[in-house]
Structures are given as structure tokens and as C-alpha cells.
Amino acid sequence: MNAPKPRIYILHGEDEQTRGAALAKLRAGLGADAPAALDYILLKGESLELPALHDAALTMPFFAQRRLVHLRDPLAMPALKSPKGRKAFLSLLERVPPSTALVLESAATLPPKHWLRRWADAHPGIAYQRRYALPDNLTRWIVKRAEEAGGRFTPAAAAELARRVGDDAAAARQEIHKLLAFVNYARPVEPEDVAELTPAPEHPNIFEMVDAIALGRSEKALRLLHQLLQQEEPIRIWGMVIRQFRLLLLAREALNQGITTPPALAQTLKIHPFVAKKLLPQARRFRMETLEAIYAALLDTDRAWKTGQTDLPAAMDVLVASLKR
């Protein structure tokens, strides 16, 4: 006898592409496409009240066997700002019927002790949870993805591809399939294949270096910093680092005030929507106290080099190395 399907799916983590693929597979598996489109509903947490979620989750399906209710960014719901609202929300989750699959999708990783994950741990019969994290080691990740796709990469080829895509898992996915097709899945992909098909970065990207600092990837940040110092003026690099962490402070404050979408953040901070989209997942990784401490360290470093106590490249090197999460 088949085990009953979960009613609550908690999908969280920064790997947007893999998370999206899982959602598409879930939607197709529940029969929520084509003529059953009325049985799929997308809700957005920042503008959703509990009664509306109640109505969506407890409505019976029209055509499909199950109704798929997809709630994006559930923690942005106004009701969840208070303990009373969280209690009512969890009570509603327990009353979701078997005819509904309620997907709670979060672009940020929820820590193991988060109240929503603790609830899911206590209700394994109805709740399913999975984290979609960006790979910590892109080389190993490339080898594994290639095997899952029915092909092979040599370790050296995987390392070369990781170097060329620069920790971009989405770009790595595209290149993996292209390279496997190039060798017709008949032999392992070699470094020479990667060199032939995957373009190398023409020059280090200063924004990528600042992103790496913000994400706590200090080894990558140091590598990019050293490359950039051969091509850019140190004072320009330093200005970008300070600007990024100032924006992260403002973004973290906005998150604390309930501003959780890129358009809303862009409007609040008067920045480009693309910048806002990159800032939000970074800001979610930090507590306000951590960002304040980092910004204070930036100011101390700025004062030290301006008063001649140290030279700027050496000061940046020490600072970037110290910013491990």
C-alpha cells in the first residue's frame, strides 16, 4: 500500500533553478497543468492574509486529483510577524486536507531550528521539506551532475569548468549538457573539451568579487581581489566593497521592516531592480549585528590606510581573509 502523499511541501534555499525544476516536476506530477489549470494557484506572502490562504488551501480540486497551492515567500505574510499569527498559521497547516498540496517556497535557507522547520520535523506524516543549496564545492557538484545526466567529467575537466563559470551553478548546468553532447556521452569530458567549448572569463568581475565577500566565500574573493589589483586601481575596488556592505545594511534593515521583494527594495533604496534582486539573498544570510560589525571593520580599515598606517591592497587582503562566515 502506497504511503499517503505529503500535504505541506517546504522548499527553501538559494538555488533558484533547481528549486524551480522541483516545483515544475511537482506541479506536473499532481496533474495541475493543461485542463486542470484551475487547480493550481500562486500566492505571494507579502500581500497574503490568513483567511485568503485558508480559502485557497481548503478548497476542493475542480479537475485534478489534488489542488496545488503554491505560496511564494510565506514568511513575508503580515500575520507571521507575531507569535499569535504564527500559531494560527501552523494550526491551518495541520488542517490542510489530503486533496491539497500546499507548497511553501522560500528563496532563503531556513535554519534547522527555524519554527517552521521544527513544526515540519514534528509532523513527518504530512510535511515534506528540502533545502536547495548552492554547491559548496562546484567541482564535485559538476562531476555528480554529469553522472546524473548519464555522462562523465574527469576531475580536471570539472575543475576547469568550475574555474571558467566562477561559482555560477546555473551556467555550469548549461555547460555540462553542452559538453556531454559534444562528446556524445561516449567518453569522459576532458579539460581540452572545456577549453574548446566554454569561454574563459576575459577579466575578473569586480561585482563578482564583492558578491563573494558578501556571501562569505573568502577564498574566491581573495583570488578575484588579487586578479583585480593587477588591473584596477585599489581605491576603486575599495569603494565598491564599502558600497556593497552599505547596501547590505540597508537591505537587512528593509527585510526587518517586512520589505521582502526586489521591486519593493529597489523602490525603497532607489537602486536598480537587478541590484535589488542580488542584494536580497545576500542580506538574508546576515544578522544586522554581523553587518554592523563588518561595516565598523571597513571604517577602521579605511581610517588606517588614509592615515598611512597600512597600504590599501594589504589592508584589503587582510580584511577579505577575515570575512569568513
pLDDT at 33 over 80: no
For the chain, where are the alpha helices, taking DSSP H only? 16-29, 50-58, 83-94, 115-122, 138-148, 155-165, 169-182, 191-197, 206-214, 218-228, 234-256, 262-269, 273-284, 288-306, 312-322
Q: Specify the residue for cell string 505574510.
A: 77
Q: How many CB atoms lie within 10 A of CB 177?
A: 13
Residue 325: per-residue pLDDT: 52
Give every CB contact of residue 280 below 8 A, 6+ residues apart in sequence.
107, 251, 255, 260, 261, 262, 265
Looking at per-residue confidence, does 265 or 322 come out higher? 265
Question: Which phi and psi (to 5°) does residue 131 adopt?
Answer: -95, 135
Give every CB contact of residue 306 below 8 A, 6+ residues apart in sequence.
none
Looking at per-residue confidence, does 101 or 236 come out higher? 101
206-322 CATH fold:
Zinc Finger, Delta Prime; domain 3 (1.20.272)
CA distance 210 to 243: 9
* pLDDT tens for each residue of 76-118: 999 998 999 999 999 999 999 999 999 999 988 888 899 999 9
Model pTM score: 0.53
Q: Where is 104: in which H helix or E strand?
A: strand 100-106
Find out whether 312 and 302 touch, Cβ atoms under 8 Å: no
* pLDDT tens for each residue of 130-188: 998 777 788 998 999 999 999 999 999 998 898 788 656 777 888 999 999 999 999 99
Average pLDDT, the chain: 85
The top-level CATH class assigned to 8-131 is alpha beta
CA distance 117 to 185: 40
CA distance 186 to 179: 11
Find out whether 302 and 281 touch, Cβ atoms under 8 Å: no
Q: Specify the residue for cell string 563588518.
A: 294
| Joined grid coordinates for residue 230 | 593587477
Q: Side by side, which strands form the sheet with 8-12?
A: 40-44, 67-72, 100-106, 8-12, 127-131
Span 138-197: which CATH code?
1.10.8.60
Residue 66: per-residue pLDDT: 84
Domain boundaries, the chain: 8-131, 138-197, 206-322
